[in-house]
Amino acid sequence: MSDLLSDSRPLIGATRPAMTGPDTRDHVNPTTGQVQASVMIGGAAEIDAAARTAVAGQNAWQALGPERRRDCLLRLADLVEADTPRLLQIAARECGTPVSSNSSGLALSWIRYYAGWADKIEGTYSEPFGITGLAYARHEPIGVIGVIIPWNSPLVAISMTAILAMAAGNAVVLKPPTQTPFVALRFGELALEAGIPPGVLNIVPGDAEAGEALIAHPAVGKVSFTGGDIVAKAVMRTAAEHLKPVALELGGKSANLIFADADLDVAATMAATCSLVPLAGQGCVLPTRVYAQAAIFDEFVDRVRAQAQAFTLGDPLDPATVVGPVINEASAQRIIGVIERAKTESGGSLVAGGRRGQGALAAGSFVEPTVFAGVAHDSHLAREEVFGPVLSIVQFDNEADAVAMANDSRFGLGAYVHTRDLSRAHRVAAELEAGCVAVNGMLPMAANQPFGGVKQSGFGREGGRPGLEEFMQIKQVLLHLR
């Protein structure tokens, strides 16, 4: 058992309490296929303790005042930066993220950006109709926020959700999944070290029982959920029973439109790298559904194939590794099943990858970066989120067809356009049904830009002022002047 993965007890306040009759599960290293730790599974009792602790923590957090909350969050960013080598080692072991990806840079930008917002929350003033007086609106924290994050990038997910809630003055009960509890627990320890009052950030690893208890708990004022649309529907059902607001950042099958006038060096590199490399393709906003115009289709496919075949698949602890394993064996088998089905049903041809890891990688949950070309737009491969290193390339004839196919999806998180025509770039961006559109490049997930989806990719925003407002409520005060 690695010392980095030795303690999976919840963090409630400033304590790591012993659990009464805990359910435990083996944690398998996705690189080796070997059991490397035991994960304690929190349930309703742990969620209740964390939520009650969060109420007191929020009062203490609010009492600090905005400038001290800002300083605490800035210290947290410094501690996360200093602890980056350890955090990367944990992530490589618990979910197979290559250390070369260094996701801490993105996380740090979000923490520092929202630390800067902590002392800049302002209300509004107006003169009310019908009376002599004044009115002002206070933008206040909701209280306790329940945050449920996915397993694919826990450090970034915490920084894009829990940190926003804390910057707005709330306390958080964070439920990481049982597959990846260790980065979140270490993050909670760093928050305490930064001087954030105990109870402001509580971490309870758990499964569906813990999630249900968190959503339903009377002390929790709002829930932020990041994950898939099927689980999101269960989240909404429970939240509806308690008339509780939710913010949802869900899945995607992001369309990437490559027009004939595009810079193919940029477009092919972006299509291959940004769909197959990050998190081994396990990302919601990755451009995994490519539409390439007929005039450049063959050349584009050749370029993408060459890049996909050059990616290094290997041990995530090796700095030379570009693509690590997927999260577990079940995911690897599911992805291979999608690939096998696509060989006969997608209408396209397998041009790169398509196999499990070979040789020394055979024991782990490795899937080769895989590309299918000439895929039918209405095929399962082109329409459903694979959540693995699998890219489909569809051919189109004209702009209208490309936009129509891109919009013919139940998802609407991200979309991408490659063209040198500025008018087309603006026109197509306006027509695409997506929460975020990037032209001639990848979405940078910048902290100062609102990020979120439409349709079944969710609602609510992370990033910028809109992200902060997700975790505030407005109180109107009316003062009569006599």
| Residues taking part in catalysis | 175, 249, 284, 385
Query: Residue 340 phi/psi, 5° resolution?
Result: -65, -40
- Nearest to 178, CA basis, from 157, 150, 212: 150
What's the CA gap between 371 and 384, in Å, rounded? 15
Instruction: Give Cα separations from 461 to 373, 449, 469 (angstroms).
Output: 34, 9, 9
What's the CA gap between 395 and 333, in Å, rounded? 28
- 316's tokens: 């995530």
What's the CA gap between 141 and 338, in Å, rounded? 44
Per DSSP, the three-state class of 138 is strand
- Nearest to 285, CA basis, from 119, 146, 457, 439: 457
Strand partners, 144: 171
**Which residues does 77 contact at the CB level (< 8 Å), separation at least 6?**
108, 111, 112, 115
Helix (H) or strand (E) holding 192: helix 182-193
Which residue type does 44 have? A
- 128's tokens: 């009310």
Whether 471 contacts 168, CB under 8 Å: yes
Whether 9 contacts 41, CB under 8 Å: no
What is the sign of the dihedral through the CA atoms of 382, 443, 69 and 221?
A: negative
What's the CA gap between 203 and 95, in Å, rounded? 18
